[in-house]
Structure 1
Amino acid sequence: MSKRLKVKQDEEYSVKELMENFISEKRAEGRSIQTIESYNNSFKKFFFCFDEEMSTKEIDKGMVLHYMNYLQKPENLHLASINHYLRDLRTFVNWCYIEGYINEKVDIKMVKGQEAIIETYSEEEVKLLIAEPQRNASFVEWRTWAIVNWILATGNRIETIVNIKMGDVHFGRDEIIIREQKNKKSSYIPLASGLKRTLRTYIKKCRTNASDDKYLFCNIEDEQLTTKALQSALYDYNIKRGVDKTSAHALRHTFAKMYVLNGGDIFRLQRILGHSQLEMTRHYVNLFGADLKKGYDDIVPINNLLEPKGKKKQTVRVNRD
């Protein structure tokens, strides 16, 4: 249980002390293991720059600027990592202000710059990966094939996938129950027809007698698959199929990219990806914006309304009286 510090007028606390209390409180609130690890790593990074016994009275605009400059040193980090650390620090500082540990709100802005290109799979690579295995393929190959299809149909993180159970897939209603997400919210997402066919094949081949409380993607001992084992299996699977990219997260990015390019609704995409805020979903749209130019001239309304090239334009006389 979180040990709440009693706030006293002009009481001075160390930043480290409050960070420990902050993490304890977030753990008590049921935040995911990944979120707690993120805070821990961010706070470790913070103390590479500052003394662990620094006082909360030192949290001000000057401190933030010093930390931003430290993170942007040439030998340090990419933009996404810098903003990740700043985002976690902002959450902590806002918490300190709300709880009364600091008297003035400190604004922490993200660093602007050239976004790194998100790795995605090409259409040719995707086709290689989703091709059905040979009948005599191993259990691991059949399972990995089904997982690849799953990610490309749902955009789920691997932490979500290893927690999917047989009973979470409803073939009659064409929907999937997602119980484990980074944002700690359960949700329903559609069961795509292509994934439906894949799962029927996979279940018939590997999970025929599995009850609803068993994991859909288990290990060979019928126990829960670990994220590390999933990533390892995906690496071997991709290399075997002649695909050099081996990232599970790149499959998630590929789902998002193809969804955007096919004209998908951003609000539905936010729900499917499990983003707590629309900001992250917009990030995908912005990064894939260059790809949206493909075929743009064929669909943009103004081009379809203008007269074809070579044909005499009609003019409209405007009465200015």
Structure 2
Amino acid sequence: MLLKFALAEFKSDREYRNVSPRTLSSYFMTLNEFHEYAIKHEVLNLEDCTQSLVKSYLVYCGKEKKNNPTTVNSKLHTLKIFFNYFEKEMEIFTQKTNPTKRIGFAQEEVKIEVFTDAQIKQMLNYFQRLKYRDKTFHAYRGYFLIIFLLSSACRLGETVNLRWSDVNLRDQVITVTGKKRTASSLPMADKLKKEFLEYKLFVETNFAVMPEYVFTDREGKQITDNALKMLFKHLKEQMNFKNVRLSAHTFRHTAAHRMIMAGCDIGTVQKILRHSNVSMTLRYFALWGTALAEQNEKFNPLNNLDI
């Protein structure tokens, strides 16, 4: 089977399985890149894809494209899904001939970056100055976005897909749709409710018809993943932060960090961050163990024993 036909077959199968457009787009960013790499190495057929070809592609991503180990692992994960489909469903490969079966994931550096108080204030002050100077939609949206991300710990996809119908200001609950299209309810802090009310009023006065989505462009259309990334890229240029990535996920890490340092228990942190597996939550506690040590000292069973 020609590799280009295999890609079309895989796409049809994922669409049939109702994979989200965002996930499908992510798959094909890698698969199309791999396809181009295979052609350059004169590999046209799916059956001719070998373990050596896949490994050389991953090395190319790391050395030539400067992808970090996390990104390389993400690409390998996509390729495993792709080739496993043609092994299990189409029976083109066996466990022995599947080119990804024996390729392990690269070791990743465990580093979770967070913003300092000064950096958060610097970002808010930047948008606040713009807001008071010319009251532009861009400035107010950016200002509210930072507050929302810090308070909700939402992922990028959850943020761009948030509708006004998902925001219950009366009961102070936000419903977000996360990974695997799983809906979760998040409590809304009083301060966030106040900001939501003000931002909603601002949006209502700037659009003839209330937009469906909370975060939009100037025409009221849903903001895209890429547009939000570009917003962070522009903000990074203005802030000139050192040793910290300016992204939605860094806000998420920062929210987790603040909760843990304030003494929040692991179960609550897991629920707020919507981790399906507590092992990811434990990584945060392992990194920021000061708060954990303080809680252990406070609640340790030995404290009440006369020994």
User: What TM bracket, shorter-length normalisation?
Assistant: 0.7 to 0.9
Q: 3-state SS of the aligned residue for 2:186? A: strand
1:177 aligns with: 175
Q: 3-state SS of the aligned residue for 2:223? A: coil
Native 8 Å contact 2:263 2:295 kept in 1: no
1:261/1:99 CA distance change after superposition, 3 Å: farther
- How big is each residue's C-alpha offset from its partner over 1:153-192, in whole Å with a ceiling of 9 and x where there is no partner? 222233432332322210122211225x452333332223
1:104/1:23 CA distance change after superposition, 3 Å: same
State the shift of 1:115 in Å.
1.5
State the shift of 1:83 in Å.
1.0
Native 8 Å contact 1:162 1:227 kept in 2: yes
Alignment partners' CA distance in 2, 1:51 and 1:142: 52
Q: Does 1:27 align with 2:22?
A: no
State the shift of 1:22 in Å.
0.9
1:129/1:185 CA distance change after superposition, 3 Å: same
Alignment partners' CA distance in 1, 2:24 and 2:267: 27
Alignment partners' CA distance in 1, 2:299 and 2:181: 45
1:222 aligns with: 220
1:212/1:177 CA distance change after superposition, 3 Å: farther
1:213/1:252 CA distance change after superposition, 3 Å: same
Identity of aligned residues (%): 22
Could you tell me which runs of 5 or more consecutive residues in structure 2 were left unpaired when the two chains were aligned: none
Native 8 Å contact 2:269 2:281 kept in 1: no
Could you say what the CA RMSD is over the residues aligned between the two structures, in angstroms? 3.9
Could you tell me which runs of 5 or more consecutive residues in structure 1 were left unpaired when the two chains were aligned: 1-12, 308-312, 315-321
State the shift of 1:66 in Å.
5.5
State the shift of 1:84 in Å.
0.9
State the shift of 1:200 in Å.
1.8
2:295 aligns with: 299
Letter in 2 for 1:255: A
Native 8 Å contact 1:144 1:237 kept in 2: no
Q: Does 1:82 align with 2:80?
A: no
Letter in 2 for 1:133: Q
2:54 aligns with: 67
1:195 aligns with: 192
- Larger-gyration structure (1/2): 1
Native 8 Å contact 2:211 2:220 kept in 1: no
2:44 aligns with: 53
Native 8 Å contact 2:70 2:108 kept in 1: no
1:163 aligns with: 161
1:83/1:238 CA distance change after superposition, 3 Å: closer
Native 8 Å contact 2:153 2:256 kept in 1: yes
Letter in 2 for 1:68: K
Q: Does 1:111 align with 2:105?
A: yes
Which sits farther off after the overlay, 128-137 or 78-87?
A: 128-137
Letter in 1 for 2:251: L
2:146 aligns with: 148
Superposition TM-score, scaled by structure 1 size: 0.70
State the shift of 1:220 in Å.
3.2
State the shift of 1:217 in Å.
2.6
2:250 aligns with: 250
Letter in 1 for 2:31: F
Letter in 2 for 1:64: Q
Superposition TM-score, scaled by structure 2 size: 0.73
